[in-house]
Chain A
Amino acid sequence: MATSESSIAAGNIQEEDKPKSKRPKETKFKQQNLPAWQPILTASTVLPAFFAIGLAFIPLGVALFITSDNITEFTFDYTECSQVGGTGTCAEFFEDVNNTGKVCNCQINATLEKFDDSVYVYYGLTNFYQNHRRYVRSRDDDQLHGDGVSPGSLNDDCDPYKTTSINGTTFGYAPCGAIANSLFNDTFTITFLGTGETVGLLKTGIAWKSDKDVKFNNPSNYDSFTKPPNWNVPVTQLDPQNPDNNGYENEDLIVWMRTAALPTFRKLYRRVNHSSTFADGLPAGQYQIDIEYKYPVTAFDGTKSIIISTTSWLGGKNPFLGIAYIVVGSLCILLGIIFLFIHIKFGKKSSEMINVTPRDSY
């Protein structure tokens, strides 16, 4: 039939025109038909997860708790420590403005239990807002990095501890800024009264290696720089015993410059040198701690304390994590049980419910 064939031929012509067609491509991507996984959170699907998490968390919490519990820690708040050879406390001593920059000696006698393994000495400060925005900013990392920064090009955030004028010449503070200026400078000497030996305290190895190696470097010289106003000694004489532990690379400085996150914080002061008597830690017994009290804290209602502690893989003593894990784990088990109940009660009901198609009501 001519008719039918011609129409087919006409169809073919249309077929050839197809490439020009605006028809969207029928790919799975474009049609949003990609294979999809559609999980639905129901009591029954969440239930096993809760049990599993609960069962994992509780032992973990117990482990954490035991670890934290095994840490031996001694803390002594010496803010109101009485001055040796003086009338009042060292806090009172520093209330006298004339005594600013002077030393107040004080002494603590403490009975310590046995400290195993590595022992660390910390100083702890409270109500000290090292995280205050302006305080945090008040430093110059380039200067601490050892780049030859001129006093004029110090970070403006260092103000008012940026530059000073001595005899008409402008000197920069080395290091500049409020953080450095407020460097904690009390010193502790711990004596084991059992043998009369002084516990050897190491000044190095207390800062992060990365900080000591990269962040903090000594400049070639400290020309046209001077010590911060609150300091008694210039930055080059922070450690009289070890010339390598001076300048910006001084580890006490480095530790201090790593500002604390919270107003109550502790910072590593020294490592105990585990030799002779103290090879296995600190033996139990009477200790005398001599403190050169130079750092006033009562002005900002702060306190300061000395902390002697062992450590663990978890860090310092803090039972919170262990307890939290146990609590959350128990909660999960409880939720799991509740969900099981719900699943039994509602699981059937809802499967009946979904049998009722919405259209049935019409």
Chain B
Amino acid sequence: MEMVKLAQVYFIMQDVEMYDPETDRPMECRALNITEDLGQIQYIFSDKTGTLTENRMEFKSCTVGGVNYLHVPCDDDLDSRSDSYSHQSYAASSRTSSIVENLSLEPALQRELSNMCLRSLDSVELTIPPHVRRVQEFFLLMAVCNTVVVSYIHEDLMDDSGYIADDPPPNKPGPIKPLPVKDTLEKPSMNKMNMQSSTPSSLKSRSLLSLSVSESGDASESGSVAGSSFLSVGSQRMHYEAESPDELALVKAANTYGCKLTRRSPGKVTVAFPAENDEVELEVLNILHFDATRKRMSVIVRHPMTRNIILYVKGADSSIFSVLHPKYETDEDCKRELKNTQDHLDGYARKGLRTLCMAKRVLSESEYQAWAMSHKAAESDMNEREELVMHSCVALEKDLELLGATGIEDKLQEGVPSTIANLRQAGIKVWVLTGDKQETAIQIANSCQLFSPDQTIVTINASSLEETREALDNALAQLREDQKQLDLLADSSRSHLGSQVSLFSVLSQFSMGGVGNDAGQLNHALVIDGKTLAFATTPELERRFLKICLHCRSVVCCRATPIQKASVVKLVRDNLKKMTLSIGDGANDVSMIQTADIGVGISGQEGMQAVMASDFAIAKFRFLERLLLVHGHWNHDRLCKFSAIMFYKSLITVFILFWFQIFSGFSGSLMIDSLYLTMQHVLFTSLPPLANGVFDKDLSVETLISDPTLYKPGQRGEMYTHWTYMIVLLDSLYQSLALYFIPHIAYQSHGVGLWEFGTTCDVCMIITILLTICIETNSWVWIQWVCVVVSFVLFWAFLLVSNAIFFTFDHPSNPYWVFMNTVSTASHSSIVILTVFVSLLPRLVVRSLQISVYPNEIGMAKRKEKQREQDMLLSDQVDTATATTLPTHGNGSGGGRVLNSHNPSPLTSTPGTSQSSMNGEGQSELRVLNTHLYTKNTGPSRRKESRFENRAFSTSVPGQGWRGAMSPDSQVSEGGGDEGGTPSTYVRQRSHLSNSDNSVVT
């Protein structure tokens, strides 16, 4: 058993489909003994950041002083994002729009920042409008208020890029002289900002050098571990290293706007401003580090000119808003500003952006000194240092002046929506447990198809136990009502589905969307926040909570602490007795990963803690699909069969020996040489089950991926039930009866010796076991053939050899020549043939009847696969036939069942489409279209258009993976094919759909 699992693990790890070329990480199995559990997962608990998303933060928008600066992405950007596959093209497109960060600069912001210099930050200076000052201060904060470390890597240009630039680097690095390179970088942003943002190509000749440098930096960034990024300053390469990707994104964004963090050392930071030639040194007096309770961090800097002491604070919106200056509650302007900011923040969250708020506070010298004293005291405290430091931080972080807020996008990992959709189709419930804000979490859940538009979202937020109970009860009541309504709906079959929209709220904490599900099942999604979760998971309420969860198809827990994540997992695992899987990437997911039955770590950006704690480590979330649906299914199936065979093998041996006891006075006598019995399990019948346990595939990868519902039998534990064992038991009982009594009766009146009888029984038994394994084998690769043959040969050879040598250590049997004397008799062979056949007969009959008459899901898929194979062969023939008879276009009747999966590209053999039949004409037409699309696809000029077509044709266009078959469009096209109609209209219909020029088709 362990050997099988070990081999399975090896092959999972070797799967090239789960290898991530970006991070050079293959699949990694850290636990060796739970491969079969992968086939039974019912609940997946997923972290959001870094798991569903890439955790590669991108600065997307900001709001300063109540003014929203939306960074509307340029078309190029949008384009490359929609096609989530090619990272290369993504990099290419980002290069053209901006240099450092994939960020289209906001003209207004650039204007306001253009004259940013030290002087302008002086709060006393009145020539600058306060808003502009604020913006500038905001960016200074972005650059300064962090723990990003800047490092320089000395590298020659040549080494860097492998290319010797014709124009030598003209710069002599030094802080005083304005650097030409810097100049080229900045100038567009300063002087030509409008032009630059609209036509990036205007840069090309002037900033060629800088572009090449930054590009190589860009390239290395995409390949390197994130959390660091290279920026070029002359031949020196600036390299940001940050603890969190958020900080990195902020610093990079500030950098893009010209407000550069160039150096950080203890006690000071060096910043370059757009309108300042020199780099400016700011004295950093204190850094108040981030902690989970405060949820904010701050730095205290001294303005070099005014000597003002300023506290810059950055943190989660709730944590900042709670410590704002009282004037925000009284002053009208401030109130409005706060409200605007809040609105913008909500907007960001709805877009799935991570939000951070920035605030500042000017401290007086005396105030600071006083605080510094106490803080020092707190820091030097031996016993309660952490708590004291926190309190001292809290003491200072008050009366803050709001500067603004940022929205950082955390991109969804590629393939996440389709993966989640497939997993859900496979009957797996996906829960997202995240530390993020509710709005962000919901947005992400929406965008990764966790919530479908027709789903009713149940939100439970409460701040006390009582409230929670009330909310839970209400939700339950509502769910019951909905269920009733649905039942009613189903009963009366009235067609006013749309009118079911029911909006209601309880205590303004409980809201519902529309009901639009026509299936007889509830389609709700639950959103619950961390605070409520804490109450809901108390023993008192957990039953209600679970009841609600059971009714919901997806659950999102936001603002959940690591311990809460674990407790939710534990709740489900223990109370529902379901197989759970946790997936996460960060240290905060460790507890959740450890709690679940299977922990999957994403070897991503947030270090290795999650991977260390996990059972399986994958590089991307989308690999989970393959891990579960393919490997999980296979391994579960294999292990079920393996253990059933093992069980069967032992049973049959025991039964045969038992039947003999009846005729040997129940003395425990053996007729089969104990030596054979020992070897039987070790050698004679062990290899084929092992080989099956590793290599047997009941269904192909394509089938399993294309039809996730095939995962369900494993999940329901259908392959491994009491019934399976009952059947194995009955079969082995029957087989042992046949195996014992046929030789018994046949030998009865002969003077058969004990060991001859045993030899015949053993030969029958081994052959029967081996053939039974053969019957149970789904797919035969040469290894399995070899194993079966080797096992039998080994058995035969062992008997021959052991019976040819005289030895007496195997008391009481003295097998010398027994085997030869037995086998040479005709009765032996006739008994063996009869016995083996009679033993196998029921299994053979049942198995073939099962597939013919009552096929289960897997059996059906299996037959479909077979059918497809045959059709493929057939279509190959027909293909050549139609190729020759194409001009005369024979009508479909001759073609029979022809599939469009005959396409030369292997990717196009999508199982889902294979059933649609069409005749030769339609096929050839489609092929013409395909090739057309293919060429179009390769041309970058019309990328967008061709992609659109791609989607419409995803079932048949080469270059689009099987995943294309999942898209709804493909189903539409499939349906079109099935519904019939002449094939030509079918194609035309589709070309209509795809907006492509019809001339190509007709």
Query: Which residues of B175-206 have CB atoms within 8 Å of chain A's CB atoms?
Result: none
Given contacts A32-B11, A46-B848, contact A354 B166 (CB under 8 A): no
| A/B interface sample: 19 pairs, CB < 8 A | A2-B165, A6-B215, A6-B216, A22-B25, A24-B16, A32-B697, A46-B844, A130-B754, A132-B665, A133-B668, A137-B811, A141-B811, A208-B817, A215-B817, A321-B830, A321-B831, A325-B834, A351-B867, A358-B707
Q: Flag whether A266 is at the interface (Cβ < 8 A).
A: yes
Known: A22-B26, A261-B747. A6 touches B163 (CB 8 A): yes
Q: 1/0 per residue B645-673: CB within 8 Å of A?
A: 00000000000000010011101111100
Interface status of B984 (Cβ within 8 A of chain A) = no
Q: Mark A342-362, 1 if CB is under 8 A from B, else 0.
A: 110011001101110111001
A5 & B163 in contact (Cβ 8 Å cutoff): yes
Interface residues of A, Cβ cutoff 8 Å to B = 2-3, 5-7, 9-14, 21-26, 30-32, 34-46, 53, 57, 60, 64, 122, 129-134, 136-137, 139, 141-142, 145, 155, 157, 208, 210-211, 214-215, 258-268, 313-318, 320-321, 324-325, 328, 331, 335, 339, 342-343, 346-347, 350-351, 353-355, 357-359, 362
From A2, A122, A313, A354, contact of B751 by CB (8 A) = A122
Q: Are B863 and A40 in contact (CB under 8 A)?
A: yes
| CB nearest to B781 among chain A residues | A34
Determine which of B749, B758, B831 lies in contact with A316 in the assembled complex, contact meaning CB atoms within 8 Å.
B749
B220 within 8 A of A: yes
- Contact of A132 with B783 in the complex, beta carbons under 8 Å: no
- Chain B: how many interface residues by the 8 Å CB criterion? 100
Contact with A along B41-66 (1 / 0, CB 8 A): 00000000000000000000000000
The answer to whether A41 and B758 have CB atoms under 8 Å apart is no
Q: How far is the CA of A157 from the CA of B812 in the complex (A)?
A: 9
For residue B976, give the distance in angstroms from its CB to the closest CB of chain A. 13
- Chain A residues lying within 8 Å of B11, measured Cβ to Cβ, are 30, 32
Cα(A232)–Cα(B219), bound, Å:
103
B148 CB to closest chain A CB (Å) equals: 25
CB–CB B746/A318 < 8 A: yes
Contacts of B821 in A (CB 8 A): 208, 210
Contact B826 A2 (CB under 8 A): no
Q: How distant is the Cα of A355 from the Cα of B749 in the complex, in angstroms?
A: 57
Q: Are A6 and B212 in contact (CB under 8 A)?
A: yes
Which residues of the partner chain A approach B19 to less than 8 Å between Cβ atoms? 22-24
Please determine whether B664 and A43 come into contact, CB atoms closer than 8 angstroms. Answer: no
CA distance A261 to B816 in the complex (A): 17
Q: A9-B162, A141-B811, A359-B971 are in contact. Are A260 and B13 (CB under 8 A)?
A: no
Contact with A along B752-767 (1 / 0, CB 8 A): 1110111000000000
Contact indicator B750/A266 (Cβ below 8 Å): yes
A-B Cβ contacts below 8 A, count? 266
**CB-based nearest A residue for B92:** A7
Chain B nearest CB: distance from A158 CB in Å? 11
User: B268 interface residue, CB < 8 Å from A?
Assistant: no
Residues in B609-654 with C-beta less than 8 Å from chain A: none
Given contacts A43-B852, A335-B841, 14 further A-B contacts (CB under 8 A): A7-B215, A37-B781, A131-B665, A131-B669, A133-B669, A141-B814, A157-B812, A263-B663, A266-B750, A268-B751, A316-B749, A324-B746, A325-B834, A342-B852
Min CB distance B690 to A, Å, is 15
Collect the chain A residues with CB atoms within 8 Å of residue B827's CB: 314-315, 321
Residues in chain B near residue A60, CB distance under 8 A: 830
Give bound CA distance, A34 to B104, whole Å: 50
Are A260 and B753 in contact (CB-based, < 8 A)? yes
Question: A331 vs B837: C-alpha distance in the bound complex, in angstroms?
Answer: 12
C-alpha spacing A136/B801, complex, angstroms = 23
**CB distance A38 to B748 under 8 Å?**
no
CB-contact partner of A7 in B216, B817, B834, under 8 A: B216
> Please, which residues of chain A bring their CB within 8 A of the CB of B748?
262, 264, 318, 320
Bound-state CA distance A353–B55 (Å) is 46
Residues in B with CB closer than 8 Å to A139 are: 812
Residues of B within 8 A of A25 (CB): 14, 16
Give B714 Cβ to nearest chain A Cβ, in Å.
15
Interface centre among B166, B758, B820, B827 (most CB of A within 10 A): B827
* Proximity string of chain B (728-746) to chain A, C-beta cutoff 8 Å, 1 when within and 0 when not: 0000000000000010111
Contact in complex: B163, A9 (CB < 8 Å): yes
A350 vs B861: C-alpha distance when bound (angstroms): 12
Query: Does B847 have its Cβ within 8 Å of any Cβ on chain A?
Result: yes
Chain A residue, CB-CB nearest to B782: A34
Shortest 4 CB-CB distances between A and B: which pairs? Answer: A9-B162, A210-B817, A261-B757, A6-B161
Complex: A154 Cα to B790 Cα, angstroms: 40
Query: Which of these, A32, A261, A325, contacts B695 with CB under 8 Å?
Result: A32
Other-chain contact of B837, A130, A263, A328, A357 (Cβ < 8 Å): A328
Chain A positions within 8 Å of B752 at CB level: 260-262, 265
> Quick check: A43 and B848 within 8 Å, CB to CB?
yes
Task: Tell whether B275 is near chain A: CB-to-CB under 8 Å.
Answer: no
Pick from B209, B806, B855, B864: contact of A214, CB below 8 A: B806
Do A42 and B851 have beta carbons less than 8 Å apart? yes
Contact of B808 among A141, A258, A359 (CB under 8 A): A141
- Closest A residue, CB atoms, query B13: A24
B3 at the interface (CB under 8 A from A): no
Binds A, one of B130-138, B293-301, B772-780: B772-780
User: Please, how many angstroms separate the alpha-carbon atoms of A23 and B17 in the complex?
Assistant: 10
Report the minimal beta-carbon distance from B789 to chain A, rounded to whole angstroms.
14
A12 B816 Cβ-Cβ under 8 A? no
Is B24 on the interface with A (CB-CB < 8 A)? yes
B849 sits at the interface (CB 8 A):
yes
Across the interface, do B749 and A335 meet the contact criterion of CB distance under 8 Å? no
Contact residues in B for A131 (Cβ distance below 8 Å): 660, 663-665, 667, 669, 671, 754
Considering the chains assembled together, what is the distance between the CA atoms of A313 and B866 in angstroms?
47
The distance in angstroms between the C-alpha atoms of A117 and B484, with both chains bound, is: 90
A31/B14 in contact, CB under 8 A? yes
Check B816 against A314 for contact (C-beta < 8 Å).
Answer: no
